[in-house]
Each structure stands twice: as C-alpha cells, then as structure tokens.
Structure 1
C-alpha cells in the first residue's frame, strides 16, 4: 500500500495544499509547530475517520472557517483509490457532510458514508486504525510505546497485527458456544426428566379405562332422554290441536267484527263516488267552453300567417278532417322555412370562414413581408460583420506566421544540442534509466562493502585490544603458541582492500552522478523539443484553419448580400398581394350581412306558424281531456255497482258465521289444552336434567380423550427431547475439540512468529548496535524482551539509555514491519513505514544509526518510507524532501518540494 497524493483545504493550519508522495524515502522537514504531523494525520484521517484524530472532529476545521475538505489518493495491490471527506462546522458541532471512496476495484464504483468507508478500508488493508498505528505509524512521542508495554499488551498488539487475534476470537466463540451448549443441554436434560415424570403420572390415571365407563353411562342417559322426548311430543300435539280449535273460534269472532266494519265502509264509499261523478260533470262543461275560445283564436292566427288552408269551414261539423288539413299545411310550411333557414346558415358559415381566411391570409402575407424585410436587413448586417472579421483575421494571421518562424528557430537551436550528445534524442530517457540503475547497483554494492568494512574494522579493533591484554582474539585464551593470532593480519589486509574498493566505488558513483545530471538535462531538452514541435504543429494547423475560415467568410459575405436583395424583392411582391386579399375580405362581409337579414325574416314566419300549431295542440289536449272525464264518470258508476254487490255478499256471510259457532266444542278444547300444558311443565325439567347429565358426560369423555392425546403428545415430545439431548451431547464434544484446536493453533503460530520476529529483530539489532557492547536480543513465547551484553549479562530494555531505548524500539517496530511485509507463509499487504519525529530522544550520534536503519528498510524492499522531522541531519537521507513552513502573520502552513543532495552525503558524514 502506498500514499500517492494528499489534498487539503481548511484542514487545521492548511488553507489550500496539494502534495504528491512517491516511492522511496520522503522527509517532511520543518520547524516544530509548523504543521508537519498534520499532513500525516490528514492521511490517517482520510482512511479511518474520526478514530484517527488526537482531538475531536471540530478541531479539523481551520479556525475561522466553516468547512474542511480532505482528499487522499492511494494505491493498494496494484489498484488505485481515492477517498474524499468534507467536514462542515455548524455552531460548535462538526458533522461529516460528505464521505466517499472511489476505485476501479470498488463494487458499484464507490462507497458512500463514513461508517461504510471505514469498514471498506479495514477490510481492504486487513487492519483497523490501532493495527495501522502499531504496525507502521510511529507517532510523535510514542516511539517507546511497544518497549514500555507489558508483555500481555505487546502480545495483543503483535497478535492483532499478524491476524492471530482472530484465532483467540474464534477460540472465545468456540468457548461461548460450548458454554451455551452446556446451558441448553442442562435445560434439555431437566426437561426430559420432567417429561418422564409427566408421562408416568398420566399413565397412572388410566384414561383408557375411564373413557369406556363414561361411554356406557352416556348410552343409558341417552335412552332415557329419547323416551321422555317421545311422550313430550304426544302432549305437544294434543295441546296444539286444542289451541287450533280455540284459535278458529277467535278467528270467526274477528271475521264477524271485520264484516261489520266492511259493510259500513262500503256504504260510505258508494256515497263518496256519487259526489265525485257530479263534480266531473261540471268540469266537462267548463272544458267545452275553453275549446270554443281556442278555435276562435286559431282562426285569427291562421289569417295572419302565410299558410294556405282548404276553406273557411274549420268550425263546421266536419272540422276534424279540415283541422288535419290545416295541420298538414302548417307542418309543410314549417319544413320549408326550416330548410331555407338551414341553407342561409350554411351560406353564412361558409362565407364567414372564407372571410376569416381572407383576413388571415392578408395578415400572414403582411407578417411574411415584414419578416423578409427584417431578414434582408439582417443579411446586410451579417455581410458587414463578416467583412470586418475577415479584415481583422488577416492581421492575426500575419502574427501567427511570424510565430511559426520563431518556433522554427527555437527547434533548430535545441536540435543542435544533440549533435555532440552521446545518444540520440529518442534514446535519452532509456540512457538516463540505465545510468540510474547502474548507480543503484553501485550504491547497493557500496553499502555491502561499507557494512563488511565496519564489521572487519571492529574485529581488528577487538583483536588488537585482546592482543594488548595478551589474549587470543577469537577464544580469549593466552596468545602463547595460539594459531589464531595470524588472522588479525588477514583482517587488517582485508580492511585495506575494502577501503580501496569503497573509494573506487564512491569515485565511480560520483562520475555517474555527473553523467546522470547531463542525461537529465538531455531528457529535459528532448521533452522541451517535443513540446515545441507539438506547438509548431498546432500553430501550423491554426494558420491553415484561419486561412480557410477567412476565405469562407468572404464567400459568406457575398452570399448574404445576394440573399438580402432577394428577400427585399419578395417582400415588395407580398405587399401587393396583401391589398388584393383585404378587398376580397370586405366584399364577403357585405354578402354575409344580406343573408343574415333574410334569415331573420324566415325566423319571424316560423314563430307565427309555431303559435298556430301550439294553439291547435291545446285544442286537441282539451278534447282528449273531455274524453277522459267521460270515461272516468263511467268507471265510477261501474265501481259503485260492484260495491253494492260486495255489500250483499258480506251481509250473507255475517249470517252464516253466526250459525257456525258451537260453545260445547270450545269448552272441551280448553280442558285438553290445560292437561297437555300440565304434563309439559313436569317433563321439561326432567329432560333438562338428563340433558345436563349427557352434556357433562360428553365433556368428561372429551376430557378423557384430551388426557389420552396429551399422554401420546408427551410421549412424542419426550422422544424428541431425548433425541435433542443426544445431539447436544455430541455437539458439546465437538465445541470442546474446536476450542482446544484454536488454542493450540494460536500457540503454534505465535511460537513461529516469535522465532521469525526474534531473527529479524537481531538482524536489525546487529546493524544498529554493531559497535556497542550488546550481543543479541531474546524474545520469548510471551513476548518478553531481554537484551544481552557481550559479557552475557541480561538487561531489561528499560535499563538502556533514552537514545538506546528509542533505537531499540525503532528496531523492534521495523522488525514487526518486515515480518508483516515478508509474511510467515507469504507476503501480506502493508502500509507505508511512517516515522513521526523519531529523533526526539536521539542524540547526534544515534541519528546516524537511524539513517542506517532507514537504509536497511530500503534494502528489505520497503516501497515507501515517510519521515517527519525538524532535524536537518535526516534531510540527506531523503529521495524526496518536503519543506513545511508556517506564515507567522496568517498562521497558515504551506508545503513545497525541494532538491536533495542524496543519501551519500549523510553516509559520508556518518563514516567520518
């Protein structure tokens, strides 16, 4: 994993900053308080959100601002990603207004929301914020965090980094599962014992035998009920027969009363109907008089109309036939007038449409003429503009041609640079890459020589000291007759050879540096030459396009003037057509007025005829009303005749009913009814008691059946629980085995990690403490650290000096990083190695060893190392130097990239 770029806006001291980060060692340099650590905190915050901050979310936004933006570009496993966060301050509270992560490898292209982004980053990098810090982010003031931690804390940190913490989580889950199974198993076993007890209790009650006894008793009670119900049915039939006799008597009495009322009612209805017939006779007389009046009015109305009648005998005895002839004449005339009115309306409509068409045509022609005149003016204006543009374009074209001449001169000058160059222009980049690769190889070789030189010099110094004391350099025994003394001379000779080889390599690297500078200049010249050629091609294209454009504008101006003349001529023709169309519209409107006057005369004639027609319809209605009155009087006379017949029949029925009533039969019926009711009063309680007894027996039988069903259900449940207990006992054994397996696996993997970490830590330790009195470091299975001096004495790391503890802890952190990078069973993804003010506890002598440690991590293939420091001594270790400065007036920080002399200068100082 590698940071590629960080962009900040209103983040802590940064108003607007955009910083690119590359491979190798990047040193972020500046005074204390300038904002160096804030850059790394921004990267960390972009990945993990608020959990990465030392303070609160409100502290992110620059003082005096309301919004902060953070963007981070990073690469992981060959895929590129971008995280963007925007924090908005509202009052005293800050909220995340936007949080999105984008990348080609992201499902659906992006992840939205702070929580989802943090979860995605944790899954992607396989480490949360704490693991990130413990692995590769050595924060300011926390350089001794691991060394000061307890073995248990150190064990948890390293186990989490190496994903062993998950095995403990799995073991805990297996343990919890085992305990959960034990709880469930205990419950199920208790449930099984309870079910066994319930089954025994139910079987002791013998529900099957009790069910048979209840069924026998139920059959006896049912037989008694059926006998009582048969006797009760006979008594009910006797009571019904007596009741029917008594009811018939009552019905005859009621009928007699009703007949008396009907006789009186019929008498009254006959009298009322006779009065109504007299009233209708008077209405008929009045209607005859109204008919005579209407006929006189019709004669006057016909005389006023233009309809032709047969003669003047409309009032004669044959007026019905004559009236029909008048009606037919009126209807025929009305049809003629309606047809004429329709013809006039259609003509008026047609002429109106035609008149409106003439008016619209005249208006449209006028609009078109105005439009053509406007277009002619626009064409003339456009022609003037095109001619002005062409004149201005000619001047600009001359300037571009002069620019082409200047570009040709510059290109010729730059091409001359390659005449004396060792390579052609197209081979400059490859030549530079070869030189850099060769320098890198020589630097690696030089580092190996320097390492061997230091270790050989140390052996010589130790040997000379022991020789002075009279002891063997190798075994420490007296040197008399010792064969090992001769090896000291070989080591001295080896020192001279290595020193000469070092000087030769340094000279060759210096020569390569000069060649690389010249090659970089050639690459830069080649790039500039390519840019000039591209620019010349662009200008040439623009000149050609401008020449074509000016020619086109001249043609367009000529065409515009021709179009303007055509539009003006066409507009004049349209003006003449407008006058002709307006004259035709006026003639059409005059004809419409004449037709409307004629239609009003037709409407007047139709009104008169319709009045005659209405009066004749009223006469017809009056005559029909006379017929209805006559019919109604005849109906009323017939109805009274029928009523007189009904009156005679009802009087005859009264006499017959009085003769049918027998008092002795009524007395016998009352006695039978009384006896039946007395028996029913006795039998009903007995039946009710027996039915209650039968219901109770049915309920008891249902209870017995339920007991049997519950017994069977308990047996089935008991069998199911017994099977569940067997399954849980088997599962309990499996969880015990799984818990033990996770514990054993974690212990085994931890031991392998301890061995590998101890080896890597000692390799780093040998480099950093090569000239000191420390021999090795021991890391036991519980992550307990012990430092051994060369005399064998064991020391706790806390017994080291402040600078030594800082270097010791940095060595431990680098060893953990190597373990993660190389992996126990293959490579694992790791973030950049980040050291935030690692020199706080180091003196000047230990800073040089820190440089050696950084170079060692580069040698192990760490792709990106970021060091934040105010120490000038670390600047020389940088491949890329970023300087951070704070403006004392605005209190805002800025960053800039600077050229660096390279690592060799610092190494030379360290060697001296």
Structure 2
C-alpha cells in the first residue's frame, strides 16, 4: 500500500496545499512548528477519521475558518483508491458533512462505513496502523515503556494471534453452554421418568371402563324424565290453546262493541262537516262577484282594444289572455326601442366625458413634464459647476503627488537595490536569517542533549554503580565518555555565540530591506494614484461639457411641452360641453321607460284578478266534490255498522264454558309437574357432567402418558448428542490454545532474530552482544560480558534506536508473513531524531537504508536533520508565513543537491 497524493484545504496551518508522494525515502523538512507532522496526520485522518487522532474536529480546522477538506489518493494491490472528507461548522459544532471512498467497482459513503472498509482492506485498524507502521512524534519509546502484557497484546493483535484467543474463548463459552444445556436435559429426563412411573401405577384403563358404565345408566334416566316432561308440555300447550281461544273470543266481542260505537260517532261527525262545506260554497260565490267588479274597474283604466260592449260597459269575460298578450308584446317592443336609444345616449355621454377627462389629464402631464425638465436643467447646471471645481482641485493634488513620487525615487538612487528589486532583496535576507536561526536552534538542541548526557554520566560516576542493575560503572562506556561530552559542550557554546552575533547582523539588514519594500510599495501606490487622478480630471471636464449641453436641451423641450398642454386643455372644454347635451337625452329616455313600466303594472293587475276568479271557481267545485265524497262514505259506514252487529251476535252464541273449566284443570296439573322435573334433570345432568369430566381426565392422562414416553425418547437422544458435541468442543478449545502458543513461539523466535539483526546494524559496537525476547514478550539487553540490562537502563539515544529497531522488526515480520498478498502501508517516522545525538542519527540513516534494501516501497520521515535529508530520494520542504500564520509545502527539484548545500554551521 502506498500514498500517492494528499490535498488539503483549511487543515490545521494549511490554507490550500497539495503534495504528490512517491516511492522510496521521502523526507519532509522544515522548522519546528511549521506543520510538517500535520501532513502525515492528514493522511492518517483521511484513512481512519478524527477518532484515530488525539484532537477534536475543532482542532483540525484552521483557526478562523468554518470548513475544511482532506483528499487522499493511495494505491493498494495495484488498484487506486480515493478518500475525501469534508468538515463544516454548524453553530458551535464542527461535523463531517461528506466522507466518501471511491475505487475500482466500489463506492462507500459515510464516515463509519469508510473507516470499516479501510480497516478490512488494510487488515488493520487505526491502533494497529500506529503500532506497526506509524511512529508518531513523541511515541518513539512507546513499546519499550509498555508492560510485557501490553506489549504482548499489541504484537499479538498485529500478528492476528488475538483472533485465535478469541476463537478459544468462544469455544470455551460454547463448551460451558453445552454443559448447561446437557445438565438441563438430564434433569428433564429424570423428571419424565418419575412422571411416567406415577401414571403407570394409576391403572388408567380399568378406571376408564368403570366411569363409562356409570355414564350409560345416568344417560338412560335423563332420557326417561325428558320424555315425561315432553308429554306434560304438550298437555299444557293444548290447555293454554283452549284458554287463549276463549280469551280471544271475549276480546273480539269487546272490540266489536267499540267499533260499533266509533262508527256511529264518525257518521254524525261527517254529516256536520257536509253542512259546513255548504256554507263555504256560498262564501266563495260572494267572493267571485266582488272580484268581477274589481276586474271591470281595472279594465276601464287600461285601454284594451275590444274590451267594451254595446253599452260601453267593460265585460270582464271579454278581457281574455290574447288581448293581454298583444298589449304586453307592444309594450316590450316599445321598451326595446327606448332602451337602444338610451344605450346609445349613455355611450355617447361616457365617451365624450372620458375624452374631456383624458385631454385634461394629458395637459396636466405635459405641464408636469415641462416643470421636471426645467428642474433637470437646473440640476445639470449645478453638476457642471461642481465638475469644474473638482477638476481644479484634482489638478492641484496632482502637482503635490508628483513631488512625493520624486522624493521616493531618490531613495533608490544608491545601492543596495534599484526600484523593483526590494522584495527579492528582502526574501534573500529573510532566507539567510532563517537558515542562521535554524542552525542556532539545532546547536542549542545539541547543547541541551550533550549537557543531559554529561549530567547522566557524572551522576553515574558519583554513585559508583548503576541505580537500576547495581553493577559498577567504572570502565563503562558512559563514564569514559565524560571528557568527550565536556569538549563537545565547549565547542557547541562557541558556535552558539557566533551564530547569535550573525543573527543580530542579519536582523538589522532585514529591517533595512523591509523599509525599502515599504518604499517600493508606496511608490507603486502613488503611481497608480497619479493615473487615477489624471483620469478623474478628464472625467470632470467631460462631465462639465455634457451637463451644460443637457441643461440647454431640457429648457427647449420644456417650452414645446407648454404649448402642447394649452392645445389639449382647449379640446377638453369642447368635449365636456358635448357630454352635457348627451346627458339630457339620457334623462328624457329614462322617463319614457318609467311610463312603460307603469302600464305593464296595470296589465299585471288585470291578469291577477282574472286568475283569482278562476281559483275561486275551482275551489267551489272542490268543495262540492268533498260533500259528495262524504255522503258516499257515510252510506258505506252504515252498511259496515250493520255487519258488525250481526258478527257480535254470532260470537256470543259460540262460547263453551264447560270446556274452558276442563282446560284450566289440565293446565294446573301440567305446570306443577314441569315445575318439579327440572330439578331432577339438573341433578342427573350434573352427575353426567362429572362422569364426562372424569372420563376426559383419564383419557388426558393416557394421552399425557404416551406424550411423556415420546418426550423421554427425544430428550434421551439429545443428551446423547450433547455428550458428543461437548467432547468435540473441548477438543477444539484445546486445539486453539495449543495453536496460539505454537504460533506465538514461532513469531517470537522470528521477531527476536529480526530485532537482533536490525539492532546490530544500527548499533554495532563492543558494549552489547544481543537482545532476548521471551515468550511473554519480556525484553532484555545483554552486554558483551553477559550482564543483563533492562531497556530502561539504556541512554536516551540508545533507547530510541532500540525502539525504532523493534518497530522496524515488527514491520518486517508482518511484511514477510503477509508474503505480498496485502502490501504493508508506508513506514512513517515522525521526528525520530528527537532523542538522538549526531552519532545516533547516522545509525538511524543506516536503519532507513536497510529497510529500503529489504523492499519497503515507501518510507516517509518528518525531520529537520540534515543527515536524514542526505538519505532522501525525495525532499519536501514546509514553511510558515509569519504574517498569515499559514504553511506552504514545496518539493525540492533535486534532493541530492539540497543535501550537499552548505548549512549555517559551515
């Protein structure tokens, strides 16, 4: 697996950065705090998300920004994948808005799914990645400082041995589960045996035969009593039928008496109604006479052609519908003609009024526009005057500006630089100052490290023996090197004094260069301002000419509009007079319509009177028909009354009192028997139900006995199968345990061999002979004389090299174990020289070269050490702008040339 490209936007100190990562050794070089480690953290964050870092999303996003983006492209097993994560602020919280992974035939969306896919693809989660391939800044001694148990868990997880322990634990849990189930089944089997024995002792079949015999006797008694009950019910029904028939006859006689009385009353009432109807007919005839007189009067007021007789008296019958329809049609035709004339008159009056109004409005508009044009002319004249004053002011300002430009040019008449070269000169001075400061920081760090080593050695010499192992320190390499440490400190202090003086000189030069840059920038601004002022003067003069022409044109147009307004107002007065004449015609025609409506109302009155007379005649006919109907109904009721009287006499003769008395006696006897028999039947039925329940219980017990025997056979078979499964799982649990122990032993042997090979390469001397890693992952260092040391007893630089050797050995073991089927991720070393002096750094270079020789495709190192820079195939530099506090990344075209350039120490 190899990183190919990382692109950042607003990630920590990077506003916008992109870097291609190549095969071989890449060194990311720069000052402390410039953002070197952030590049590798971005790659790690892209793979596993924020949970893999020791920071929150707020710490990841550049200060002052609300969103950030990381885009990583990497290759794995010949295929290319791309991960994109986008962060955005929402309120007080920053969250992941986009997280996608794209590859050949795969697209994954969502932070959780992307992290799971990467873990499965690389066969390691974030913790395994850090423990195997990513030595983060400040964690170089992580594995050495860990306890043996922690070290065992870490390496076992990397080598997938934790899976075997997980499988063994699962097998153990399965074994315990089988034991629980087997014990449960055996208990159930014993319980079933006890239940079966109890039911077999109860002699269920004999008990069933006895209960069925008793049930047959009870069923016979119930049948006999039910037959007797049925005969009693039949006798009771016959007696009740006789009695009911007697009661019905009596009720019928009572009903007939009531019907006869009702018929007599109804006949009398209807005769009274016939008399009242005769009086209503007389009243209706009087009303008709009155209406005919009103009709004659209304017809005389209406000039109806053909409505008068020989004596000039109006005949109401002669005023027929045809005459009224003809008069109404004549009125409609006259009204239609008048309304057409009225519509034309109204339209003419409206048109003339609108024309007069529009002409007046147009005159007002023309006068308003004329006034606006005169105001615009005044404004244009005022603007022209302002432009003339502005042109004069800008001309004076231009003269002052030329004097300042000449003064600034004079500053560049003498060396060190000419106009246009100040920025390049400042950058050159800054680069020299930066190099000197880096050299000073490096020397100070080396001085601090040397003083710590001297203090450790002096403390050991004063104590006389090692505080950890208790061995004498006389003749040890740490004590013998005290003189070398003192000489090294003196040289470093002298170098620091020289570098501090050089920093002061270059800071003064930088101050001068900054002032020249400011002057150059000011000169450029003044030249640009001069161009703008000249343009402003020309614009003011052009405005002066245009505005005065505009004022003259506006005045001429205003005079023309006044003349047009006067013409429109005269035309409006003419049309207004014509509109008044049209309005008089409208009023005359509306009067004609009122006369037509009055005549139509008179016709409506004649028609209403004729309709009222017809209705009164119809009502008289209806009343006569009603009197006739009542007379016919009373004749029918008299015949029905006679029939009722005859029927009553027949029923009175048919009543048999002796039969009624016999029926009453039979009913009493039957009711007494039926009142007593239910109690006896309930008793017998209760006995039958009890016997049936007992029989059902015995049959249920027989069924349960058969079921218990079947359940016992089934559980016995399961117990036998569980015994077999328990034996197999126990064997599997032992197999996992033995396999894990054997694989750990083999991996420990291989890892110990690789660790010694790597440590011998980077720390070959006369002090140490070998390193031992036992099965419990306990680490021990042996000196040449056989003395055993704990890794904590080594010096700071030795411990760092020891841990780097261990990490590289683990990386080799995983790579060889995978055998190319899943290539390892890049080997990443973040500031590995923090605890190393110059001698140990050169050994770290040897370690890097060895990992390259062993086939590690990509090694990424973050460092500001020049020795590591010399070992790089690819050099990437990181710088931070002190003004914007933003970092930038750049690749040195030729890493080998960068490595041999003289440093500040030369």
Which range, TM-score by smaller chain?
Answer: 0.5 to 0.7
RMSD: 4.8
The aligned runs of 1:339-358 (5 Å cut-off) are: none
In structure 2, the CA distance between the partners of 1:86 and 1:347, relative to structure 1 (3 Å rule), is farther
The aligned runs of 1:418-567 (5 Å cut-off) are: none
Secondary structure of 2:73's counterpart equals: strand
For 2:895 and 2:766, locate their aligned partners in 1 and report how far apart those are by CA, in whole Å: 28
| Residue 79 (structure 1) aligned with residue 80 (structure 2) | yes
Q: Which residue of 2 aligns with 1:269?
A: 266
The aligned runs of 1:701-716 (5 Å cut-off) are: 701-716=695-710
Cα deviation for residue 158 of structure 1 reads 1.9
Q: Which residue of 1 aligns with 2:8?
A: 7
Q: Which residue of 2 aligns with 1:630?
A: 624
Give a deviation string over 1:614-661, Cα, whole Å, max 9, x none.
555544433332222112112212222333333334444444444444
In structure 2, the CA distance between the partners of 1:731 and 1:305, relative to structure 1 (3 Å rule), is farther
Q: Which residue of 2 aligns with 1:857?
A: 851
For 1:838 and 1:191, locate their aligned partners in 2 and report how far apart those are by CA, in whole Å: 67
**Of 624, 630, 633, the match for 1:639:** 633
For 1:721 and 1:25, locate their aligned partners in 2 and report how far apart those are by CA, in whole Å: 69
For 2:685 and 2:797, locate their aligned partners in 1 and report how far apart those are by CA, in whole Å: 106
For 1:117 and 1:898, locate their aligned partners in 2 and report how far apart those are by CA, in whole Å: 30
For 1:54 and 1:310, locate their aligned partners in 2 and report how far apart those are by CA, in whole Å: 120
Q: Which residue of 2 aligns with 1:69?
A: 68
Cα deviation for residue 856 of structure 1 reads 1.9
Greater mean deviation of Cα atoms: 201-210 or 291-300: 291-300
Cα deviation for residue 2 of structure 1 reads 1.3
Secondary structure of 1:823's counterpart equals: helix
Q: Which residue of 2 aligns with 1:880?
A: 875
Answer yes or no: is the 8 Å Cα contact 2:877–2:892 preserved in 1: no
| Residue 232 (structure 1) aligned with residue 229 (structure 2) | yes
For 1:343 and 1:167, locate their aligned partners in 2 and report how far apart those are by CA, in whole Å: 115
Give a deviation string over 1:463-509, Cα, whole Å, max 9, x none.
xxxxxxxxxxxxxxxxxxxxxxxxxxxxxxxxxxxxxxxxxxxxxxx
For 2:136 and 2:244, locate their aligned partners in 1 and report how far apart those are by CA, in whole Å: 115
Q: Which residue of 2 aligns with 1:421?
A: none
Answer yes or no: is the 8 Å Cα contact 1:100–1:117 preserved in 2: yes
**Of 886, 892, 897, the match for 1:899:** 892
Secondary structure of 2:266's counterpart equals: helix
Answer yes or no: is the 8 Å Cα contact 1:29–1:870 preserved in 2: yes
Give a deviation string over 1:349-403, Cα, whole Å, max 9, x none.
9xx9xxxxxxxxxxxxxxxxxxxxxxxxxxxxxxxxxxxxxxxxxxxxxxxxxxx
For 2:685 and 2:778, locate their aligned partners in 1 and report how far apart those are by CA, in whole Å: 92
For 1:717 and 1:311, locate their aligned partners in 2 and report how far apart those are by CA, in whole Å: 123
Q: Which residue of 2 aligns with 1:167?
A: 164
The aligned runs of 1:733-772 (5 Å cut-off) are: 733-772=727-766
Answer yes or no: is the 8 Å Cα contact 2:28–2:878 preserved in 1: yes
Secondary structure of 1:861's counterpart equals: coil
For 2:836 and 2:886, locate their aligned partners in 1 and report how far apart those are by CA, in whole Å: 27
TM-score, length of structure 1 as denominator length: 0.63
For 1:722 and 1:329, locate their aligned partners in 2 and report how far apart those are by CA, in whole Å: 120
For 2:285 and 2:155, locate their aligned partners in 1 and report how far apart those are by CA, in whole Å: 129
| Residue 801 (structure 1) aligned with residue 771 (structure 2) | no
Cα deviation for residue 782 of structure 1 reads 4.2
For 1:769 and 1:604, locate their aligned partners in 2 and report how far apart those are by CA, in whole Å: 135
Q: Which residue of 2 aligns with 1:582?
A: none
Q: Which residue of 1 aligns with 2:684?
A: 690
Answer yes or no: is the 8 Å Cα contact 2:299–2:307 preserved in 1: no
Cα deviation for residue 792 of structure 1 reads 6.1
In structure 2, the CA distance between the partners of 1:178 and 1:785, relative to structure 1 (3 Å rule), is same
TM-score, length of structure 2 as denominator length: 0.63
In structure 2, the CA distance between the partners of 1:750 and 1:599, relative to structure 1 (3 Å rule), is farther
For 1:718 and 1:797, locate their aligned partners in 2 and report how far apart those are by CA, in whole Å: 66
Q: Which residue of 2 aligns with 1:282?
A: 279
For 1:200 and 1:337, locate their aligned partners in 2 and report how far apart those are by CA, in whole Å: 122
In structure 2, the CA distance between the partners of 1:191 and 1:636, relative to structure 1 (3 Å rule), is same
Q: Which residue of 2 aligns with 1:721?
A: 715
For 1:808 and 1:66, locate their aligned partners in 2 and report how far apart those are by CA, in whole Å: 42
Answer yes or no: is the 8 Å Cα contact 1:66–1:90 preserved in 2: no
Q: Which residue of 2 aligns with 1:123?
A: 120
Q: Which residue of 1 aligns with 2:538?
A: none
In structure 2, the CA distance between the partners of 1:638 and 1:44, relative to structure 1 (3 Å rule), is same
Cα deviation for residue 274 of structure 1 reads 1.6
Q: Which residue of 2 aligns with 1:835?
A: 829
Q: Which residue of 1 aligns with 2:17?
A: 18
Cα deviation for residue 79 of structure 1 reads 1.4
In structure 2, the CA distance between the partners of 1:896 and 1:166, relative to structure 1 (3 Å rule), is same
For 1:129 and 1:834, locate their aligned partners in 2 and report how far apart those are by CA, in whole Å: 14
How many residues matched?
A: 670
For 1:306 and 1:726, locate their aligned partners in 2 and report how far apart those are by CA, in whole Å: 129
Q: Which residue of 2 aligns with 1:213?
A: 210
In structure 2, the CA distance between the partners of 1:83 and 1:748, relative to structure 1 (3 Å rule), is farther
In structure 2, the CA distance between the partners of 1:146 and 1:898, relative to structure 1 (3 Å rule), is same
Secondary structure of 2:85's counterpart equals: strand
For 2:611 and 2:5, locate their aligned partners in 1 and report how far apart those are by CA, in whole Å: 106
For 2:695 and 2:821, locate their aligned partners in 1 and report how far apart those are by CA, in whole Å: 78
Q: Which residue of 2 aligns with 1:96?
A: 95
In structure 2, the CA distance between the partners of 1:747 and 1:193, relative to structure 1 (3 Å rule), is same
Answer yes or no: is the 8 Å Cα contact 1:140–1:837 preserved in 2: yes
The aligned runs of 1:177-188 (5 Å cut-off) are: 177-188=174-185
For 1:641 and 1:174, locate their aligned partners in 2 and report how far apart those are by CA, in whole Å: 113
Q: Which residue of 2 aligns with 1:241?
A: 238
**Of 109, 112, 115, the match for 1:111:** 109
Q: Which residue of 2 aligns with 1:821?
A: 815
In structure 2, the CA distance between the partners of 1:618 and 1:704, relative to structure 1 (3 Å rule), is farther
Give a deviation string over 1:130-153, Cα, whole Å, max 9, x none.
101101111233212223334443
Structure 2 unaligned blocks of 5 or more = 347-578
Answer yes or no: is the 8 Å Cα contact 1:137–1:835 preserved in 2: yes
For 1:611 and 1:827, locate their aligned partners in 2 and report how far apart those are by CA, in whole Å: 117
Secondary structure of 2:163's counterpart equals: helix
Answer yes or no: is the 8 Å Cα contact 1:875–1:900 preserved in 2: no
Cα deviation for residue 71 of structure 1 reads 0.9
Cα deviation for residue 806 of structure 1 reads 1.5
Answer yes or no: is the 8 Å Cα contact 2:11–2:70 preserved in 1: no
Secondary structure of 1:282's counterpart equals: helix
For 2:657 and 2:901, locate their aligned partners in 1 and report how far apart those are by CA, in whole Å: 155
Answer yes or no: is the 8 Å Cα contact 1:880–1:899 preserved in 2: yes
Secondary structure of 2:49's counterpart equals: helix
Secondary structure of 2:174's counterpart equals: helix
For 1:35 and 1:820, locate their aligned partners in 2 and report how far apart those are by CA, in whole Å: 31
Greater mean deviation of Cα atoms: 870-879 or 684-693: 870-879
| Residue 52 (structure 1) aligned with residue 45 (structure 2) | no
| Residue 680 (structure 1) aligned with residue 681 (structure 2) | no
For 1:301 and 1:33, locate their aligned partners in 2 and report how far apart those are by CA, in whole Å: 121
In structure 2, the CA distance between the partners of 1:599 and 1:201, relative to structure 1 (3 Å rule), is farther
Give a deviation string over 1:27-60, Cα, whole Å, max 9, x none.
3344445554444334333332343232555544
For 1:767 and 1:169, locate their aligned partners in 2 and report how far apart those are by CA, in whole Å: 37
Give a deviation string over 1:509-536, Cα, whole Å, max 9, x none.
xxxxxxxxxxxxxxxxxxxxxxxxxxxx
